[in-house]
């Protein structure tokens, strides 16, 4: 397969690119230049229903296809992802704004989901018990749900759709992906790779749209499970709507991830780790570190001094600028929202240590902000309470480890938190007591590898559904248990029993 050519943004339905018929549409921008690069059609309720009907038929055929055949297609898909990494990374950079090297990182993590899903035969094999009584054998099997949907955010145009969907396909479901309307090209690109890999028509579909499109999908009676990743506000709505319509739901929301810095930690290592984890991808990662929590006055002073120098040296730039540490924000609206959050914090008494509000980048039309650092931030300020999805980070000092744990546990968001220390006991107390889904010790972004489960606590996830990790195979299948007996035809005794079988 050579270069993939994608001119206009279309839906991808039943193995074909389909232009939308609806009169509703949105615009796609290149965040690095601020220029409009495409229009994206929003699917209507009718278009959603037509897609569902086709995908439902495909789900039936695909679910009955041997698991070995399904996995062969995944192997091919994986090969194509590797082959097209360079082209795909540029595409991600162009529509999302992140640097090409960062985009390659996300593709690599996306490929990890394919690796995990290649092991699906192992994850969905059933259980068997021989002669549980009266010559009956009992066994259980995991069957696909049928047609399922994934609704994805803008910040990982490839990694998250792959994390959410590949296992679903591997275990025998058909998929409707509704990608973020801000980054529709990447999803279309993945569709072309699935097509080339030999996935039968209708198993993988991409329907573009806005909240009305999402609503039409998640309330459709033939859609059996909803996997959602996005902001907490929307995750909550999706969870409530979809469960009301009796769907299985995994709804992942935002994060406010803390790094606790103990007095015994190596401050230079801490600062290096913080800078990458906090400002990488312009801070637009759900697991980005957004709060530094140094313990004690001395640690705070040393950390702030060293961090300031590093943050001042950071460079925002175009996705294809090899010297840029991070790229532009996704939209001008996002930029304005972040500027508003900084102003509000300053009015509430926060102090600007490094001010990135007037970015140094030459192209003033792109949606840039330079790295910004605030201190004198207190837990009652909105900038501490809410996720700020951009390169703005805050320092909130505490007196003790116990106080750090108390504040993190009181926070409504519970995706990740990490501690930097050289003391095993502090690390143990922290990992045991902290109320977040993913925690680290001297690891700035503790995102688990694919063979461990991913997921936050509190308002960072609604429901117990999975979207990445081995439990995703369980989320996208339903268990059936069979009790089976074969009679001896020469045995002619017949007897009726009215007692409950035991």
Per CB under 6 A, residues contacting ligand NAD are 151-156, 160, 178, 180-181, 210-211, 214, 229-231, 234, 237, 252-255, 286, 387, 389, 415, 456, 460
Question: Is 401 in contact with 426 (CB distance < 8 Å)?
Answer: yes
Nearer to ligand NAD, 32 or 415 (CB): 415
Alpha helices in 262-296 (DSSP H): 267-279
Nearer to ligand NAD, 154 or 239 (CB): 154
Question: Nearest distance from residue 67's CB to ligand NAD, in Å?
Answer: 28
Determine the residue with CB nearest ligand NAD: 230
Instruction: Please report the DSSP string for 406-424 in residue order.
Output: HHHHHSSEESEEEEE-S-H
Place of tokens 């925690």: 439
Nearer to ligand NAD, 370 or 459 (CB): 459
Nearer to ligand NAD, 159 or 427 (CB): 159
Q: How far apart are CA 365 and CA 318, in angstroms?
A: 11
Question: Nearest distance from residue 177's CB to ligand NAD, in Å?
Answer: 9
Backbone angles phi, psi at 416, to 5 degrees: -145, 160
Nearer to ligand NAD, 184 or 294 (CB): 184
Q: Judging by beta carbons within 10 Å of its beta carbon (0-12, 13-18, 19+), is residue 161 exposed, middle or buried?
A: buried
Question: Nearest distance from residue 433's CB to ligand NAD, in Å?
Answer: 22
Question: Nearest distance from residue 468's CB to ligand NAD, in Å?
Answer: 8
Nearer to ligand NAD, 26 or 296 (CB): 26
Mapping DSSP to helix (H, G, I), strand (E, B) and coil, where does residue 439 land?
strand
Sequence-distant (6+) residues with CB within 8 A of 123 are 171, 470, 473, 474
| Torsion angle (degrees, nearest 10) of CA 120, 122, 126, 129 | 180
Structure tokens at 59: 């789900």
Nearer to ligand NAD, 284 or 477 (CB): 284
Structure tokens at 487: 């009679």
Question: Nearest distance from residue 208's CB to ligand NAD, in Å?
Answer: 9
Structure tokens at 147: 């047609």
Q: Which residues of 443-465 are buried (b: 16+ CB within 10 A; e: fewer)?
A: ebbbbeebeeebbbbbbbbbbeb
Q: How far apart are CA 186 and CA 80, in angstroms?
A: 14
Q: Which residues of 46-78 are buried (b: 16+ CB within 10 A; e: fewer)?
A: ebbebbbebbbebbeebbeeeeeebbebbebbb
Question: Nearest distance from residue 79's CB to ligand NAD, in Å?
Answer: 26
Q: How far apart are CA 366 and CA 368, in angstroms?
A: 6
- Positions annotated as catalytic residues are 286
Sequence-distant (6+) residues with CB within 8 A of 154 are 96, 180, 182, 183, 284, 330
Question: Nearest distance from residue 456's CB to ligand NAD, in Å?
Answer: 6
Nearer to ligand NAD, 211 or 428 (CB): 211
Question: Nearest distance from residue 288's CB to ligand NAD, in Å?
Answer: 8
Q: How far apart are CA 278 and CA 286, in angstroms?
A: 11
Question: Nearest distance from residue 330's CB to ligand NAD, in Å?
Answer: 7
Question: How do beta strands 136-144 and 127-133 pair?
Answer: antiparallel
Q: How far apart are CA 317 and CA 326, in angstroms?
A: 6
Please give the helix or strand (H or E) that residue 166 lies within, else none: helix 159-170
Nearer to ligand NAD, 22 or 137 (CB): 22
Pick from 261, 212, 264: nearest CA to 237: 212
């Amino acid at each position: 397969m050579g270069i993939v050519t994608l001119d206009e943004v279309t839906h991808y339905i039943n193995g074909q690119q389909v232009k939308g018929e609806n009169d509703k549409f949105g615009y796609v921008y290149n965040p690095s230049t601020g220029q409009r690069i495409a229009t994206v059609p929003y699917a209507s309720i009718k278009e959603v229903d037509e897609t569902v009907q086709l995908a439902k038929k495909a789900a039936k055929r695909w679910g009955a296809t041997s698991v070995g055949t399904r996995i062969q297609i995944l192997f091919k898909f994986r090969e194509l992802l590797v082959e097209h990494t360079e082209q795909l990374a540029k595409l991600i950079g162009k529509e999302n704004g992140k640097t090409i090297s960062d985009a390659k990182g996300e593709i690599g993590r996306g490929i990890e989901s394919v690796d995990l899903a290649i092991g699906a035969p192992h994850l969905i094999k059933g259980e068997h018990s021989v002669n549980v009584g009266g010559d009956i054998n009992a066994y259980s099997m995991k069957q696909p749900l049928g047609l399922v949907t994934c609704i994805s955010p803008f910040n990982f145009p490839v990694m998250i759709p792959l994390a959410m969907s590949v296992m679903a396909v591997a275990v025998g479901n058909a998929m409707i992906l509704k990608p973020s309307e801000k980054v529709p090209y990447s999803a279309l690109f993945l569709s072309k790779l699935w097509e080339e890999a030999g996935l039968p028509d209708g198993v993988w579909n991409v329907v573009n749209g806005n909240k009305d499109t999402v609503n039409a999908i998640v309330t459709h009676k033939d859609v059996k499970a909803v996997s959602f990743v996005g902001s907490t506000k929307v995750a909550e709505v999706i969870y409530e709507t979809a469960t009301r319509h009796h769907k299985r739901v995994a709804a992942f929301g935002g994060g406010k991830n803390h790094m606790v810095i103990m007095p015994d930690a190596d401050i230079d290592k801490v600062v290096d780790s913080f800078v990458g984890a906090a400002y990488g991808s312009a801070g637009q990662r759900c697991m980005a570190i957004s709060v530094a929590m140094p313990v004690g006055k001395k640690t705070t002073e040393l950390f702030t001094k060293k961090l300031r120098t590093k943050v001042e040296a950071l460079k925002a730039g175009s996705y294809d600028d090899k010297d840029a540490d991070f790229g532009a924000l996704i939209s001008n609206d996002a930029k304005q929202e972040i500027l508003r959050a900084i102003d509000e914090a300053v009015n509430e008494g926060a102090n600007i240590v490094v001010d990135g509000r007037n970015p140094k980048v030459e192209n003033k039309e792109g949606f840039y902000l330079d790295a910004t650092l605030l201190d004198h931030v207190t837990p009652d300020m909105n900038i501490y309470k809410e996720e700020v999805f951009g390169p703005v980070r805050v320092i909130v000092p505490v007196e003790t480890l116990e106080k750090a744990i108390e504040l993190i546990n009181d926070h409504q968001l519970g995706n990740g938190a990490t501690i930097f220390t050289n003391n095993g006991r502090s690390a143990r107390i922290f990992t045991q007591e902290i109320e977040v889904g993913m925690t680290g010790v001297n690891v700035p972004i503790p995102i688990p590898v694919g063979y461990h489960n991913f997921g936050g606590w509190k308002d960072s996830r609604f429901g117990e559904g999975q979207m990445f990790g081995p439990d995703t195979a369980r989320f996208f299948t339903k268990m059936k248990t069979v009790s089976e007996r074969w009679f001896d035809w020469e045995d002619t005794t017949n007897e009726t029993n009215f007692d409950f079988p035991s």
